[in-house]
Amino acid sequence: MRLRPALASALMNPPPARGSRAFSWVPAAALVLGVPGVLLPVMSCRAADAPVCRSAAGRAATDAGDDPISADTPGSDGTRLFARGKSVRIDVTTRATRDDKVQWQVTDTWSRPQASGNFTVAAGPRVTSLTCTLPLAGYFAFSASLASQPSTGLPQRGTRPAGITTFGVLPDVSAALPAPSFARQDLHRFGGQGSAYIAPGQHCCGGDGLRPLYTDLGLAWANDKRGWYVMEPKGPDTFDAAASQLELQFRPGDIMRLITLDGFPGWASPNGQETHSYVPSSLAQLRDYMSRVGTESARIRARVFPRQAHNYYQVTWEPDKDGGLPWKDTDAHFVDLYKTVHEGIHSTDPSAIVMGPTYAGVQENTEWLKKFAPLGIAKYLDGVTIHGYYDFGTSPSHPPERLYGAPEKGTLSLPEAMRGLRATMRDVLRPGAPLFVTETGISYDIGTNYATDYPDAQTLYAQGAVVARAHLILLGEGADTTFIFYGADMPETTPGYGVFFELEHPKGMYGASNISPKPAALAVATMTRLIDGTYTLGPLRGAPAGVYAYAFARPGGGKVITALWSHDNARWSAKAGFDATRAANYTLQVDARGRAGQVSVFDMMGNPTTMTYNDGMLPLRLTESPVYVVSDNAEVARSNAVTPAGYIAPKP
């Protein structure tokens, strides 16, 4: 990842609710009308669509805690994510010094109240269960306090600030968009980094750290290390390609391997030290090792991933000169490295896709591809891998559109950087070479720290919106696949990369065992359910300044999904605030002129509404939160989109 100075955030955390009713609800129509991002028709409210929470009689608490009040949502698969339409149980534990009352509230991504109320509790350690049915999908924050101690809310847990416990309701888009079919498995477009050992019986770091986290989020790729220094740290010929070495988490075959090859053992390096910076002393030995990796990978694909057309290999990892794994050898030796790996892998895995160079920033990959091209690197690249960082810190205050049309010290916005990369790929590589963005993360702003009051609700909303926008831009500008970074918060200089809170350590931890979602997690779950199974049509022509629109289509003349939002730097920063209500009017063509009909529009959390269009045109009011329009006329969408340079839709 790439970190540079950015703005700091300092916004207040909203206080716990002080309701006075047993429960309350906001009419569904009002909730949908209030979704930032879409201009919707007025609808009548139906009580059946309203959130409903009921409390049961309290019982004695058995845990040994000492917080005056705490809460959790048991009953999920460990992610604290729940299926839409299913009830969510919220256990509120109190240790009141006398008979008291709990005042509680549930809010959504935009801090809008969804339900609130109160219930009485007896003195002493007690547990009271609320059972809530929430008709909307998305992220929810539950807050509560004792009436006698209104300023003391829920305690901080790990990287999650005080005042809230969080959970999510997963979107179900099937009514408007049936589940996609994949002609081959490697057409999935989303992967991830980061593990969480949350399923029963799993533990870090030898169990399954991908399920249910990845399957709930809709991620179908993960890294699998086969670097030489990992597999043969002590000496040559110790890696047996015929042995069973596939990690438990890959054995079910539903999450595919990005096979990473970076790093060389000390015994093979020119200075006797483990290195990523210099070619090994013997390229012949490296070639032999890579041939064995190819043998193993080809066998695994045939047995575990029979519907995957190719194995995908990433040779280097952020070889930036100012990074943690810098390349210090010559440019010629860098190309020699790729030549050796390519030859070794292809000798035993002929259909392999060998990729690189995986610099941290999109622009750096463009620059180095141009620099290495005269040395012949294109002969040894079947595709390109990059990390998708784009700015002086990728954070809520530095979103991917910030520098659009106004580069800063040569740094471009993400859309413009991707266009430069695609043009270079067109000029240097074979047509249709795949582009995998194998890491892009959105942290909190540089200079911030986890605290009892940070992150606040505005920061969490903004992070979720920016996570979705960054990955939609990457795919919309021509990436085939993009990886979400990171699963749960981990200890980094800049906090907050996780799309989940890590609940056991104040600065996060790798291999988390206790997590709860941020808005970003539900934004990812919505994006994957709508965009996976598509190919890219591209950015729409003629979008006005500040409006971003990308079209995707299902193969074979299927549904079109258009992702849209607007952005205004002046209303989007920690200093100015992250304005969720500022909006821009935009009319999207969804059908041929003269036609009328209806389309489905999903908000950032995956909640649909049906909208009517006339004369082929759909009026929208776009905010900073992406919305997704699902329509039928692929030819209209294709005619209005700009195909990314050199992009060829994968053949079924």
Measured distance CA(110)–CA(520) in Å, rounded: 12
Kindly state whether residues 133 and 227 are assigned to the same domain: no
Between vectors from CA 191 to CA 186 and to CA 194, what angle results, nearest 5°?
A: 145
Residue 150 lies in a domain: yes
Measured distance CA(423)–CA(158) in Å, rounded: 44
Helix H or strand E segment including 216: helix 213-217
Structure confidence at residue 27 (pLDDT): 31
Kindly state whether residues 38 and 155 are assigned to the same domain: yes
Kindly state whether residues 268 and 347 are assigned to the same domain: yes
Domain CATH code at residue 630: 2.60.40.1180
Q: Which of 170, 186, 209 is the last residue of a domain?
A: 170
Residue-wise pLDDT tens digits, 532-542: 999 999 999 99
Helix H or strand E segment including 485: strand 481-485
Phi, psi of 531 (to 5 degrees): -100, -30
Residue 500 lies in a domain: no
Over 50: is that where the pLDDT of 468 sits?
Answer: yes
Structure confidence at residue 508 (pLDDT): 98
Kindly state whether residues 162 and 249 are assigned to the same domain: no
Q: Which residues face 104 on adjacent strands?
A: 117, 144
Measured distance CA(68)–CA(374) in Å, rounded: 67
Residue-wise pLDDT tens digits, 445-456: 999 999 999 999
Over 70: is that where the pLDDT of 287 sits?
Answer: yes
Measured distance CA(502)–CA(561) in Å, rounded: 33
Structure confidence at residue 416 (pLDDT): 99
Measured distance CA(263)–CA(437) in Å, rounded: 20
Structure confidence at residue 206 (pLDDT): 82
Structure confidence at residue 557 (pLDDT): 87
Residue-wise pLDDT tens digits, 20-31: 333 333 333 333
Taking the CA atoms of 472, 474, 480 and 484 in sequence, report the sign of the dihedral they define. negative
Dump the DSSP string for 306-363: TT----EEE--S---TTSSS---S-HHHHHHHHHHHHHHHHHH-TT-EEEEE--SBHH
Over 70: is that where the pLDDT of 44 sits?
Answer: no
Taking all residues of the chain, what is their mean pLDDT, rounded to a whole number?
93
Over 70: is that where the pLDDT of 39 sits?
Answer: no
Residue type, 334: F
Burial of 533 (0-12, 13-18, 19+ CB in 10 A): buried
Domain CATH code at residue 82: 2.60.40.1930
Average pLDDT over residues 586-599: 99
Residue 165 lies in a domain: yes
Q: Which of 358, 383, 412 is the last residue of a domain?
A: 358
Higher-pLDDT residue of 392 and 260 is 260
Residue 429 lies in a domain: no
CB atoms within 10 A of CB 427: 13
CA–CA distances in Å: residue 441 to residues 153, 270, 488, 496, 607: 31, 34, 11, 9, 24
Kindly state whether residues 226 and 299 are assigned to the same domain: yes
Kindly state whether residues 35 and 120 are assigned to the same domain: yes
Average pLDDT over residues 251-280: 98
Average pLDDT over residues 625-629: 99
Kindly state whether residues 34 and 151 are assigned to the same domain: yes
Residue 633 lies in a domain: yes
Residue numbers of the domain that contains 257: 221-358
The mean-pLDDT minimum among 310-314, 472-476, 555-559, 600-604 falls in 555-559
Average pLDDT over residues 593-608: 99
Kindly state whether residues 141 and 37 are assigned to the same domain: yes
- The closest of 457, 477, 416, 489 to 577, measured between CA atoms, is 457
Kindly state whether residues 276 and 159 are assigned to the same domain: no
Q: Percent of the chain having pLDDT more than 70?
A: 92
Taking the CA atoms of 204, 205, 211 and 215 in sequence, report the sign of the dihedral they define. positive
HSE (CB half, 13 Å, CA atoms) of 416? 13
Residue-wise pLDDT tens digits, 73-108: 999 999 999 999 999 999 999 999 999 999 999 999
Structure confidence at residue 161 (pLDDT): 99
Kindly state whether residues 228 and 133 are assigned to the same domain: no
Residue 619 lies in a domain: yes
Q: Which of 170, 201, 230 is the last residue of a domain?
A: 170
Average pLDDT over residues 408-420: 97
Residue-wise pLDDT tens digits, 157-196: 999 999 999 999 999 999 999 999 999 999 999 999 999 9
The mean-pLDDT minimum among 46-55, 183-192, 209-218, 374-383 falls in 46-55
Over 60: is that where the pLDDT of 15 sits?
Answer: no
Between vectors from CA 289 to CA 285 and to CA 295, what angle results, nearest 5°?
A: 145
Residue 154 lies in a domain: yes
Structure confidence at residue 3 (pLDDT): 43
Is the preceding omega at residue 491 within 30 degrees of 0, hence cis? no
Query: Does residue 74 contact residue 91 with C-beta atoms inside 8 Å?
Result: yes
3-state secondary structure 425-479: HHHHCCCCCCEEEEEEECCCCCCCCCECCECCHHHHHHHHHHHHHHHHHHHHCCC
Over 60: is that where the pLDDT of 48 sits?
Answer: no
Structure confidence at residue 45 (pLDDT): 34
* Domain total in the chain: 3
Average pLDDT over residues 278-295: 98
Kindly state whether residues 265 and 353 are assigned to the same domain: yes
If pLDDT is split at 50, 70 and 90, which confidence band does 650 have?
A: confident
Residue 475 lies in a domain: no
- pTM here is 0.93
Kindly state whether residues 160 and 229 are assigned to the same domain: no
Measured distance CA(416)–CA(100) in Å, rounded: 58
If pLDDT is split at 50, 70 and 90, which confidence band does 12 have?
A: very low
